[in-house]
Chain A
Amino acid sequence: PTPENFDVDDGINQDIFDINEDLGLDLFEGDIRLDGVQERNS
């Protein structure tokens, strides 16, 4: 049987930081890009 609904969020309310973490990104404060190579705060 065809499901009644298609859930684009797969039942989870993913925040910005969860999305980026799942992608393996290690951005500064989760979603900030800094100038240069190093993203993380030294």
Chain B
Amino acid sequence: ITGERYRWSHTIPYVLDDSLEMNAKGVILDAFERYHLKTCIEFKPWAGEANYISVFKGSGCWSYVGNRHVGKQEISIGTNCDRIATVQHEFLHALGFWHEQSRSDRDDYVSIIWDRINSGKEHNFNTYNDQESDSLNVPYDYTSVMHYSKTAFQNGTEPTIVTKIPEFMDVIGQRLDFSDYDILKLNRLYNCSSSLSFMDSCNFELENVCGMIQSSADSADWQRVSQVPGGPENDYSNMGQCKGSGFFMHFDSSSVNVGATALLESRILYPKRGFQCLQFYLYNSGNEQDQLNIYIREYSAGNVNGTLTLVEEIKEIPIGSWKLYHVTLKVTNKFRVVFGGIRGSGSSSGGLSIDDVNLSETQCPHHVWHIKNFTQFIGSPNVNLYSPPFYSSKGYAFQIQLTLNNSTNVGIYFHLISGANDDQLQWPCPWQQATMTLLDQNSDIRQRMSNQRSITTDPSMISDNGNYFWDRPSKVGALAVFTNGTQFRRGVGFGTSAFITHERLQSRDFIKGNDVYILSTVEDISHLNSIQMEPIISSITDDLCTKVSCENDGICTVHNNKAECRCPSGEDWWYMGERCEKRGSTRDTIVIAASSAAAAFALMLIVTLVSVYYTRRKYRKKTSSNTTNMSPENQHAF
């Protein structure tokens, strides 16, 4: 939308309303993380700023366009809107974005089939001229998260939007993640030059290897190569598709003695958040005894050469294939990441190779499900894949199921399964949010459009048979068997049959080198449940607060067994009084101060004038009495 008045500052205050579903709250926070990674827009809890976004559960999914300067500006994330790309879409509206197909040059790229549009809905296909809307010199974007899908507002089954390039027919309306052009536009609109959480990405295509350096305190070096005789035959970024490119870093363990090390150090990095996730692909063509150590060289005022700290030892690296690794870091001072290749015992005809390194200040996924030779499963009837068993940080055992038996859609489901900690856990399982991500394996984390869905365990949810849905799997689950023959119980899967279409799955880099990665994180989000957080306090509060009503969005709290209103306030305004009924502002204070000063001045002026008047009157009387005794000559001389 054209006009600076519609812009927000780079840091946008927000409130997650209590009306939101628990799953939606977690998804919104995940969407904020995507903004933090790819743009300079940051979201922070509202602390009284004049304008802020309030996300609530209204009817449907909607937003206003741009900053309306109304104080509390609403976004609705209603039922079925709790998907990360939907949240990204609605927030892009709030940041000032219209839909992609309403651009002034729309008709150059898509045809609107007017007679297939629901009667009365034609207005949804209006375009804006370049006085109302600015495409910021960015090309028309079929992949935008802001584009309608081909079926939008249709009256039958035929598409209402036909792309002029047929290959994009099923691309429009995809809600995976921000497209490259979405990011370009947003960053241009808000003059972004950096983001909160992105740190570095390196696919070793450039000879400067992203500023990485060879350490002098080791016995071997890493080399930038495009292939190694013992493997890999090509890099992971391009999979050897481009001749003359496709480089990676290789530590040749076959040419050094046992125990030899090669340290490759990243450029100096400056953390902002204090936690990082390092991701990279690793290939072993040496020996299973070879290992990769990940170190941090951290600099402080007292140690200018940095202190080298071992973070993780990666051992038993499988031979003959690229594999994705994640390493969690917690660094607060400036630092380097150090890749340390170590020659193990046993024969080696190759070594260790690394490619597609990404470092961001985000949380690493808790579990990685690596599905090899994926294409063999596509098109086979009755193929449902189950992940290995995983444990959440709270101790719940779970599995992820990928359903491939539908010809159009791929489904994904989360199952609780019987596990070793079940006796110590709370049942039905309360407020665990499972986030399942099909990884787009683009070499640059900023260009990935991964497909993600989250579900949350609601302990009060009842199944059709009357059981608690998220009760202990050994009680409500069905018997199942692992491939090693061990029996266990698996609860009913909870997820979606429409996770992604087969067509989309085979696009981008979801399948790369015939491998697919499903990343999963299961975390406790009960802290987002404001009612459940303080159940005792809230019940007392409820009792005492029933007799007290706070005005102007004030909140009733109990203090020393007495109900009190906590009144809202902003940077330059506040409410006060027992019921928050009075409004104050710095402007009022200025007005009072100015009025007082003016009144004091007026009073002083009156006193002065009165004094002068009486003094002069007295003086005149005196003068006139003197004049009667004076001669005219004297008067003149005077």
- Which residues of A are at the interface with B, using a C-beta cutoff of 8 A? 2-9, 11-21, 23, 25, 27-35, 40-41
Tell whether A20 pairs with B175 under 8 Å between CB atoms, given A4-B492, A8-B495. no
Interface-central residue, A8, A20, A21, A29, by most chain B CB under 10 Å = A29
* 8 Å CB contact of A29 from B124, B463, B498: B124
Within 8 A of A (CB), among B73-119: 74, 78-81, 86, 89-90, 93, 98-99, 102
Of all chain B residues, which has the CB nearest A12? B498
The CA-CA distance from A26 to B246 in the complex, in Å, is 51
13 A-B residue pairings within 8 Å (CB atoms): A4-B478, A5-B495, A6-B492, A6-B494, A8-B495, A13-B409, A23-B78, A27-B62, A31-B63, A31-B93, A32-B62, A33-B63, A35-B64
Q: Collect the chain A residues with CB atoms within 8 Å of residue B79's CB.
A: 19
Q: Collect the chain A residues with CB atoms within 8 Å of residue B151's CB.
A: 15, 18
The CA-CA distance from A33 to B212 in the complex, in Å, is 49
Per-position binary interface string of chain B over residues 442-473, scored 1 when its CB falls under 8 Å from any chain A CB and 0 otherwise = 00000000000001000000011100010000
The CA-CA distance from A36 to B307 in the complex, in Å, is 61
Q: Collect the chain B residues with CB atoms within 8 Å of residue A25's CB.
A: 59-60, 62
Of all chain A residues, which has the CB nearest B81? A19
Q: Collect the chain A residues with CB atoms within 8 Å of residue B455's CB.
A: 8
Whether, in the assembled complex, B238 has its beta carbon less than 8 Å from a beta carbon of chain A, the answer is no
Docked-complex contact B153 and A30, CB < 8 angstroms: yes
Tell me the dominant secondary structure on chain A's binding face. Answer: loop
Known: A20-B62, A25-B60. 17 other contacts (CB 8 A): A2-B465, A2-B492, A4-B492, A5-B403, A6-B492, A6-B494, A7-B495, A8-B496, A13-B409, A14-B80, A16-B86, A16-B90, A23-B59, A25-B62, A28-B123, A29-B98, A30-B124
Docked-complex contact A13 and B78, CB < 8 angstroms: no
Tell whether A6 pairs with B89 under 8 Å between CB atoms, given A13-B498, A32-B63. no
Tell whether A9 pairs with B60 under 8 Å between CB atoms, given A30-B124, A30-B153. no
Docked-complex contact A19 and B61, CB < 8 angstroms: yes
- The smallest beta-carbon distance between B488 and chain A, in angstroms, is 15
* 8 Å CB contact of B175 from A15, A30, A33: A15
Whether, in the assembled complex, B398 has its beta carbon less than 8 Å from a beta carbon of chain A, the answer is no
Docked-complex contact B492 and A20, CB < 8 angstroms: no
- Which residues of B are at the interface with A, using a C-beta cutoff of 8 A? 59-65, 68, 74, 78-81, 86, 89-90, 93, 98-99, 102, 123-124, 126, 148-149, 151-153, 173, 175, 401, 403, 409, 411, 413, 455, 463-465, 469, 476, 478, 492-498, 501
The CA-CA distance from A17 to B552 in the complex, in Å, is 34
Docked-complex contact A15 and B496, CB < 8 angstroms: no
The CA-CA distance from A34 to B79 in the complex, in Å, is 21
Interface-central residue, B61, B64, B89, B492, by most chain A CB under 10 Å = B61
Interface-central residue, A11, A16, A33, by most chain B CB under 10 Å = A16
Q: Collect the chain A residues with CB atoms within 8 Å of residue B68's CB.
A: 35
Docked-complex contact A17 and B148, CB < 8 angstroms: yes
The CA-CA distance from A11 to B492 in the complex, in Å, is 16
Nearest 5 Cβ contacts at the A-B interface: A13-B498, A5-B493, A20-B60, A9-B496, A41-B123
Tell whether A29 pairs with B80 under 8 Å between CB atoms, given A17-B148, A35-B68. no
* 8 Å CB contact of B61 from A12, A16, A41: A16
Docked-complex contact B64 and A34, CB < 8 angstroms: yes
Docked-complex contact A7 and B152, CB < 8 angstroms: no
* 8 Å CB contact of B173 from A7, A15, A41: A15
Docked-complex contact A31 and B60, CB < 8 angstroms: yes
The CA-CA distance from A14 to B409 in the complex, in Å, is 13
Docked-complex contact B99 and A29, CB < 8 angstroms: yes
The CA-CA distance from A18 to B78 in the complex, in Å, is 13
Q: Collect the chain B residues with CB atoms within 8 Å of residue A18's CB.
A: 151
- The smallest beta-carbon distance between A2 and chain B, in angstroms, is 6
The CA-CA distance from A17 to B90 in the complex, in Å, is 12
Docked-complex contact B152 and A30, CB < 8 angstroms: yes
- The smallest beta-carbon distance between B90 and chain A, in angstroms, is 7
Of all chain B residues, which has the CB nearest A39? B62
Docked-complex contact B153 and A17, CB < 8 angstroms: yes
Q: Collect the chain B residues with CB atoms within 8 Å of residue A8's CB.
A: 80, 455, 494-496
Tell whether A40 pairs with B123 under 8 Å between CB atoms, given A3-B492, A15-B149. yes
The CA-CA distance from A29 to B153 in the complex, in Å, is 10
- The smallest beta-carbon distance between B375 and chain A, in angstroms, is 23
Of all chain B residues, which has the CB nearest A21? B153
The CA-CA distance from A4 to B90 in the complex, in Å, is 33
Docked-complex contact B63 and A9, CB < 8 angstroms: no
Q: Collect the chain B residues with CB atoms within 8 Å of residue A40's CB.
A: 123
- The smallest beta-carbon distance between B452 and chain A, in angstroms, is 14
Q: Collect the chain A residues with CB atoms within 8 Å of residue B413's CB.
A: 5-6
Interface-central residue, B80, B90, B175, B463, by most chain A CB under 10 Å = B80
Q: Collect the chain A residues with CB atoms within 8 Å of residue B62's CB.
A: 20, 25, 27, 31-33
Interface-central residue, A14, A19, A27, A35, by most chain B CB under 10 Å = A19
Q: Collect the chain B residues with CB atoms within 8 Å of residue A34's CB.
A: 64
